[in-house]
Amino acid sequence: MNFLPEDLERHLLTLVQEKLIEAGEPLTPDTDLFSIGLDSMGIMQLLIAIEEIFRVRIPESQVTRENFTSASSLAALVRQCAKGA
Provide the residue ranges of all domains of the chain, joining segments of one domain with +. 38-85
Confidence band of 1 (pLDDT split at 50, 70, 90)? very low
Q: Decide if 63 contacts 41 (C-beta within 8 A).
A: no
Per-residue pLDDT at 19 exceeds 90? no
The tens digit of pLDDT for each residue in 29-59 reads 999 999 988 999 999 999 999 999 999 999 9
Radius of gyration in angstroms for the set of CA atoms belonging to the chain, rounded to a whole number: 12
The tens digit of pLDDT for each residue in 66-83 reads 999 999 999 999 999 998
Q: Which amino acid is at 58?
A: I
